[in-house]
């Protein structure tokens, strides 16, 4: 009798689970800074992630025809407390089973430690690049589709040496991202024989950067490296330096690369160069087309966002469960070889392969290849501002 009861209870549980899996949508949190310093980038990032979710839903093959629903929340990019509260709400009130985000490194670290680990929820960030996140305790829950800045510092230093730059002034936005990136640029550039004349922080959201420009100009240098945000202090510092005639060429790491910068500064920015995570793959073009067809404008980190969401979905499918504890170990499997290569727009195909028990190697829009602790190994696009447009010089 006892056994029958237990069996009955178990079947009921299983059927109810199966019913809920096929009927109630699976919610994935999209937590990005919809307000704050990168608020001009985040709408396209979120829309790109939702593009991947829609693709999975439309295919009808995701976890036996489940619907994927995106729940957006505001990370603010700078306020760790607000971001943690938003993430907590997503998990406890909305019941999301995974998070696509967060965006800026500081809030990403905060959400990971305060919320994701406590609740055992997988996070895949499209844009947090602080080197500190590589060795953060994450219980195997944290991944990122963008490479660490330690790598970017190295690449940027190579670019500088190649361009014959001997000395450079360096300014960074005063947060985890800016500090981490500027330290790695300085270390790499000095190791290769260059000189950093000054490394000064600037605060975002202030508008007036006369003091910073003054100090940077006095220190001097062949170029000014601006490790900031294009909508924020970074733009203010460049404008101020140009107006005062202090620097002519600017070096732009990833946070500064976006179409709005040359549009705002205009011709004087021509000749400035920089690096941003990106690769020369057919995936990038496919994604571009996919997004344009869906009416989504592509901008910085849009492709990474698409890939982050896609990886979550594929890992869920591989584990046959939307539960973070089940699929967290599958993220690396679907991201890397072996398996069938999956490009943007082929999520339906990937879901089918996984459902049949096959293996996939998600390439996606940014040629995703996870290394070490689940972060993108990273290939970089070297850009040059030419004719008030951002153009690609080469990939490295």
Is residue 355 near another protein by the rule CB under 8 A? no
Burial of 326 (0-12, 13-18, 19+ CB in 10 A): middle
Binding residue for another protein, selected from 147, 221, 228, 236, defined by CB under 8 A: 236
Instruction: Please tell me whether residue 245 binds another protein under the rule CB under 8 A.
Output: yes
Tell me the window of 118-126, 207-215, 352-360, 374-382 that interacts with another protein (CB under 8 A): 207-215
Instruction: Report in angstroms how near the CB of residue 280 gets to another protein at its nearest.
Output: 30
E strands in the chain: 26-32, 68-74, 98-101, 122-125, 142-144, 167-173, 195-202, 223-227, 250-252, 273-277, 340-342, 360-362, 370-371, 375-376, 380-386, 389-395
Rounded CA separation 96/258 (Å)? 31
Q: What are the structure tokens assigned to 199, written together?
A: 């490394």
Q: How many Cα atoms within 13 Å fall on the side-chain side of residue 57?
A: 17
| Smallest gap from residue 15 Cβ to another protein (A) | 47
Cβ count within 10 A of residue 383: 23
**Smallest separation (angstroms) from another protein to the CB of 28:** 25
Min dist CB 396 to another protein, Å, is: 31
The angle at the Cα of 302, spanning 279 to 323, to the nearest 5 degrees, equals: 105
Rounded Cα distance between 123 and 96, Å, is 11
- Taking contact as CB under 8 A, which single stretch among the options 47-55, 214-222, 336-344, 348-356 is the one that binds another protein? 214-222
A 10 A CB-CB count for 274 gives 27
SS3 140: coil
- Is 388 an interacting residue with respect to another protein (CB under 8 A)? no
- Considering only residues 138 to 177 of the shown chain, the ones binding another protein according to CB under 8 A are 174
One residue of 25, 120, 140, 214 binding another protein per CB under 8 A: 214
In the block, which residue shows the tokens 């070297």? 382
For residues 258 to 287, the per-residue mask of contacts with another protein, x marking binding by CB under 8 A and - elsewhere, is --x---x-----------------------
Interaction of residue 212 with another protein, rule CB under 8 A: yes
Phi-psi region of 388 (alpha: psi -120 to 50; beta: other; left: phi over 0): left
The only residue of 198, 286, 332, 355 in contact with another protein, by rule CB under 8 A: 198
Nearer to another protein, 236 or 378 (CB): 236
For the bound state, the minimum distance from the C-beta of residue 171 to another protein, rounded and expressed in Å, comes to 8
Nearer residue to another protein within complex by CB, 132 or 201: 201
Consecutive H or E run containing 33:
none
* Interacting span for another protein (CB under 8 A) from 87-95, 136-144, 244-252, 276-284: 244-252
d(CA 146, CA 371): 11
- Residue number, 28 or 217, with CB nearest to another protein: 217
H-helix or E-strand spanning residue 107: helix 105-111
Number of residues counted as binding another protein (CB under 8 A): 36
Binding mask 9-38 for another protein (x = CB under 8 A): --------------------------xxx-
- Is 179 an interacting residue with respect to another protein (CB under 8 A)? no
Count of all residues that appear for the chain in the document: 396
Choose between 140 and 214: whose C-beta lies nearer to another protein.
Answer: 214
* Minimum distance, C-beta of residue 65 to another protein, in the bound complex (Å): 38
Binding site for another protein (CB under 8 A): 35-37, 39-40, 174, 198, 200-203, 205-208, 210-215, 217-220, 231, 235-236, 239-240, 243-246, 260, 264
């Amino acid at each position: 009798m006892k056994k029958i009861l237990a069996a009955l209870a178990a079947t009921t549980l299983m059927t109810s689970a199966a019913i809920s899996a096929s009927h109630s949508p699976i919610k994935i949190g999209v937590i990005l800074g919809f307000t704050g310093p990168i608020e001009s980038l985040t709408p396209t990032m979120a829309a790109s992630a939702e593009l991947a979710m829609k693709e999975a839903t439309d295919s009808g093959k995701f976890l036996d025809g489940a619907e994927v629903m995106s729940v957006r929340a505001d990370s603010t990019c700078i306020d760790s407390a607000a971001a943690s509260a938003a993430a907590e709400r997503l998990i406890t009130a909305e019941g999301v089973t995974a998070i696509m985000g967060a965006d800026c490194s500081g809030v990403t670290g905060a959400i990971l430690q305060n919320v994701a680990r406590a609740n055992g929820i997988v996070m895949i960030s499209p844009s947090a690049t602080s080197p500190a996140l590589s060795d953060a305790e994450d219980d195997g829950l944290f991944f990122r589709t963008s490479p660490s800045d330690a790598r970017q510092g190295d690449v940027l230093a190579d670019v500088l040496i190649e361009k014959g730059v001997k000395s450079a002034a360096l300014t960074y936005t005063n947060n985890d991202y800016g500090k981490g990136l500027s330290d790695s640029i300085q270390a790499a550039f000095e190791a290769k024989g260059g000189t950093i004349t000054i490394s000064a922080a600037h605060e975002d959201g202030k508008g007036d950067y006369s003091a910073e420009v003054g100090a940077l100009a006095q220190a001097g240098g062949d170029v000014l490296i601006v490790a900031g945000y294009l909508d924020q202090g970074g733009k203010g510092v460049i404008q101020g330096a140009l107006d005062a005639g202090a620097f002519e060429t600017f070096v732009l790491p990833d946070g500064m690369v976006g179409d709005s910068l040359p549009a705002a500064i205009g011709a004087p920015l021509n000749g400035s160069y920089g690096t941003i995570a990106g690769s020369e793959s057919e995936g990038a073009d496919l994604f571009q087309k996919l997004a344009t067809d869906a009416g989504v404008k592509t901008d910085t980190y849009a492709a990474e966002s698409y890939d982050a969401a896609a990886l979550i979905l594929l890992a869920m499918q591989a584990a046959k469960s939307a539960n973070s504890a089940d699929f967290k170990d599958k993220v690396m499997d679907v991201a890397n070889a072996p398996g069938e290569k999956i490009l943007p727009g082929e999520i339906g195909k990937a879901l089918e392969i996984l459902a049949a028990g096959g293996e996939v190697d998600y390439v996606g829009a940014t040629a995703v290849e996870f290394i070490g602790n689940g972060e993108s190994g990273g290939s970089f696009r070297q850009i040059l501002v030419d004719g008030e447009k951002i153009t690609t010089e080469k990939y490295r």
